[in-house]
Chain A
Amino acid sequence: MMVRETPILETEKTRFLSNLLLPFRGRILASIGLAWLVLMAFFAIFAPWITPYDPLAIEPVARLTEPGATHFFGTDHFGRDTFSRCIYGARMALLIGLGTVFVSLTVGGFIGMVSAYFTRIGSVLMRVVDVLMAFPALLLALVLMTLFERSVINTIIVIGIVYTTTTARILYGMVLKLKNEVFVDAAICSGVGHTSILLRHILPNLISPLLVQASFIFAFAQLQAAALDFLGLGLPPEIPSWGNMLSESRIYVTRASWLLIYPGLLIILSVFSMNLVGDAARDSLDPRFKDDIAGV
């Protein structure tokens, strides 16, 4: 007997794209947030063509120049152009955000789904997740970053680990709920393999909640990376990221306030936008999963 794919799946597939934009209908703030994120992505991708200066070029005579016509956002103590560095910072923000989302969703998603589906392995795996969750995120990141060298990839992995555990927990809960649904039972009865059930029947139902979770991870990762940079244990200092810019310039808070205002506002705007987008998307989620997604 052929098992028909469930109606849930069909609607998910056909309305996927329109679903993506649906949450923003009638929500002005969330739409502005989305627009800002698109703009940020544009800046990040086309940074070399937009920036008026090389973000790493040192110009000691022009150090600590106030914002003006030659340097829109002023210069730092090396005489580097803050505007150009901010634009390149968007690139780093995007990279860290997407990287963290990728690591935590793939690894955490895998652990969560497998644990919920195969309960015997699951009880062991979730124990490990429990142990890791008992470490406060930043302390874990601090110890790991001291252990490894400061680099982009290590920063992504370290922040990724933190959200891997959260994601695993959330997915574990959601898959447990789905496992008891009729369509899964039907699939099992018809002799479909485990992998196939997980990938073709359960996973598609989780895509929307995962996307919402991803938006919150993206936002948190920005703050976490900035905190690590601030403590001097994040990205290598030569990389122009907003967190590094703040960390390097915090002594100039009164002397050259532009060095803290612009990167600070950029972090806030990006995190705020991502939170708005995530919040809007969560509201349009399947009510079964709404409470599972952590976030602001």
Chain B
Amino acid sequence: MNFHTSWKSTLIASATALCLSTSVFAETLRYATVGEPPSLDQQVITSDLATTIAHHMFEGLYTFDASNSPVGLLASGERVEDGGKTIVISLREGVKFHNGEDMTSKDVLASLKRWGEFGSRGSLIFSNVESVDATGEYEITIKMKEPFGPWKNLMAFINGGPAIYPASVLEDATKEPLSPDKYIGTGPYKFSEWKPNRHVELKRFDDYKSADGAADGYAGKREATIDTLRFIPVPDVGTRVSGLKAGDYDYAESIPGDLFDDLDADANVTTILNGGPIFWLVFMNSKEGPLKENFALRRAMQAAINKTPALQVAIGPDKLWRANGSFLPEGNVWHTKSGTDNFSKGDAAGAKKLAEEAGYKGDPIKVMVSTNYAFHYDTAVVYTKQLAKAGFNIDLQVYDWATLIKKRAQPDQWDLFFTHHGFVPDPILISVMNDNYPGWWATPEKAALKAKFTASSDPKERKAIWNDIQALIYDQVPTMKTGDVYTYNIASPKLKGLSSSTLIWPHFWNVSK
């Protein structure tokens, strides 16, 4: 009896749901992600996946336009005084948080303070900040110890950056990411629900107040047309592709290069190239082991490697990669050929000689790589062969990513490890610039150049210093860059308003279905 009634009510419920759904269904965007983001708290999390979702909810004071220049988002303008030591930022008025509160300088102050103390990239700027104050209801004043060139780029970079939260959710906020009930921002979409393993769902925020001006990159007008954005974890890449083809997803990210030509030719699939390339890095241990301070030996290893086969094997189509030694890509203001003569020699005999001169006696060199990223592993296989040919005794150790992260924090466990790096608008954000990043590159030469680099706010001067830093990287080899990889995503042709390429993270405001 009981069984029957419950069965009936389920049927009725689902029938009603079916009727109701017809209007809702059409306006849900289903985005197949590579996995689950660790948290959406933008201030402390640097996962690109987290930002892809979260930058629809959270906004910073600045953002990037299509040419990667920082422009105001929640800020309406700024004055730089005192030779670059004082920055006065005025805020847009009438901006509402998702909880209905007005955004004022007290929220910005609380957000900047938490970011400065606990944020992933906050210390880059705040180690140099003397004070932050709310100097008006819609005005914030930052006082620097020294002039700090890249401040605006850092403020505009939302990934691990200063997203503006209401002061009310930040009361005891620390390093621990905020819990989902505190996901309150000013963006065109608001947080709806996070069902573990199922989806993260965002809903349109009806009281959104957009910035003025035509849409340009992430800047300008933002309009949420689609009601619901649903980010669904689909870790298996084959399933992401077949799911999009079968119409189960509208958008799918991180698709293997080798499928590009077929998918590009498929009328049922739109391919979208990412404008900012990612690059792969191999870090060398500067703290312990045979590579410590032996720059000659590192240069020998660098000379043994030809990067092109690694890129061919791991990616495929020529269109999707460049064997580019500059840390920032061609066309970018920071692009430079400085030092790149040594980028990809692939000279086994020469390398062998260099290694002998550097005193290498065939000791094993421990290389760590993870198979969680196929391209890390593919690159490692190619490099290992090339290094072996030049007489290096390579001990390749394969771990899962979590184990690798743990092991790389222990300097006695490794000599080389593989990772990758997302596109960043300012070289100061590249991980090798951080003295504490595993590898621990912190030579006096680096320290001197880095100090000059952050102190200057003259673009021309900063560019010249960066050229020197890149040359130093090719000389001391704290890390080796493999090349630029233009990843791509795929979408259903039903989506309208998608730009032909994304800057860094795809966005779905100004997109309709």
Contact = CB atoms under 8 A, between A and B. Distances in A.
Interface of A: 58, 60, 63-64, 77-79, 146, 149-150, 232-233, 236-238, 248, 250-256
Nearest to B239: A250
A89 B374 CA distance: 21
B173 interface: no
A58 B398 contact: no
B342 interface: no
B400 A60 contact: no
B238 A58 contact: no
27 contacts: A58-B309, A58-B382, A60-B312, A60-B313, A60-B382, A63-B313, A77-B314, A78-B313, A78-B378, A79-B313, A146-B400, A150-B398, A236-B398, A237-B371, A238-B381, A238-B396, A238-B398, A248-B374, A250-B238, A252-B258, A253-B238, A254-B241, A254-B259, A255-B258, A255-B259, A255-B262, A256-B258
Q: Which 10 A-B pairs have the closest CB atoms?
A: A60-B312, A60-B309, A251-B256, A232-B371, A251-B237, A78-B313, A250-B238, A60-B313, A237-B371, A251-B238
Interface of B: 236-238, 241, 256, 258-259, 262, 308-309, 312-314, 316, 371-372, 374, 377-378, 381-382, 385, 396-400, 403
What is the predominant secondary structure among interface residues of chain B facing chain A? helix
Contact of B312 (A63, A248, A253): A63
A77 B258 contact: yes
A77 B313 contact: yes
A58 B400 contact: no
Given A77-B316, A146-B400, A58 B256 contact: no
Contacts of A233: 400
Contacts of B385: 58
A233 B385 CA distance: 23
A58 B258 contact: no
Given A146-B400, A232-B371, 4 more contacts: A58-B382, A232-B400, A251-B259, A253-B238
B378 to A, nearest CB: 7
Contacts of B374: 248, 251
Contacts of B309: 58, 60
Contacts of A58: 309, 313, 381-382, 385
A92 B192 CA distance: 50
B262 A77 contact: no
A252 B261 CA distance: 13
A251 B377 contact: no
B304 to A, nearest CB: 15
Nearest to B386: A58
A253 B256 CA distance: 12
B262 A254 contact: yes
Contacts of A236: 398
Contacts of B316: 63-64, 77
A10 B460 CA distance: 96
Nearest to A150: B398
Contact of B398 (A237, A253, A256): A237
A237 B377 contact: yes
A12 B309 CA distance: 61
A198 to B, nearest CB: 43
Contacts of A63: 312-313, 316
Contacts of A253: 238
Contacts of B400: 146, 232-233
Nearest to A260: B238
B456 to A, nearest CB: 43
Contacts of A232: 371-372, 400
A146 B309 CA distance: 31
B490 to A, nearest CB: 13
Contacts of A146: 400, 403
A253 B262 CA distance: 12
A77 B379 CA distance: 12
Nearest to B237: A251
A236 B369 CA distance: 12
A250 B371 CA distance: 14
A180 to B, nearest CB: 48
Contacts of B312: 60, 63
Contacts of B382: 58, 60, 78
A255 B399 CA distance: 28
Contact of A78 (B237, B308, B381): B381
A151 to B, nearest CB: 10
A260 to B, nearest CB: 10
A157 B399 CA distance: 18
A104 B377 CA distance: 33
A60 B378 CA distance: 11
Contacts of A78: 313, 378, 381-382
Nearest to B372: A232
A77 B374 CA distance: 11
A232 B376 CA distance: 14
Nearest to B402: A146
Nearest to B385: A58
B407 to A, nearest CB: 11
A248 B397 CA distance: 17
A265 B258 CA distance: 24
Task: Name the residue in A79, A248, A255 with the highest tally of chain B Cβ atoms < 10 Å from its Cβ.
Answer: A255
Contacts of B259: 251, 254-255
Contacts of A252: 258
Contacts of B308: 60
User: Looking at B237, B372, B398, which has the most chain A CB atoms within 10 Å of its CB?
Assistant: B398
Nearest to B309: A60
Contacts of A150: 398
Nearest to A57: B385
Contacts of B403: 146
A223 B21 CA distance: 42
Contacts of A60: 308-309, 312-313, 382
B34 to A, nearest CB: 13
Contacts of A237: 371, 377, 398
A64 B258 contact: yes
B387 to A, nearest CB: 13
Contacts of B241: 251, 254
Nearest to B397: A149
Nearest to B256: A251
Contacts of A64: 258, 316
Max count, chain A CB within 10 A of own CB: residue among B236, B256, B309, B372 = B309
Contacts of B237: 251
Contacts of B381: 58, 78, 238
A238 B312 CA distance: 18
A150 B404 CA distance: 13
A238 B382 CA distance: 11
A1 to B, nearest CB: 64
A254 B255 CA distance: 13
A264 to B, nearest CB: 14
A173 B400 CA distance: 40
A251 B313 CA distance: 14
A255 B385 CA distance: 26
B440 to A, nearest CB: 25
A79 B398 CA distance: 21
Contacts of B256: 251
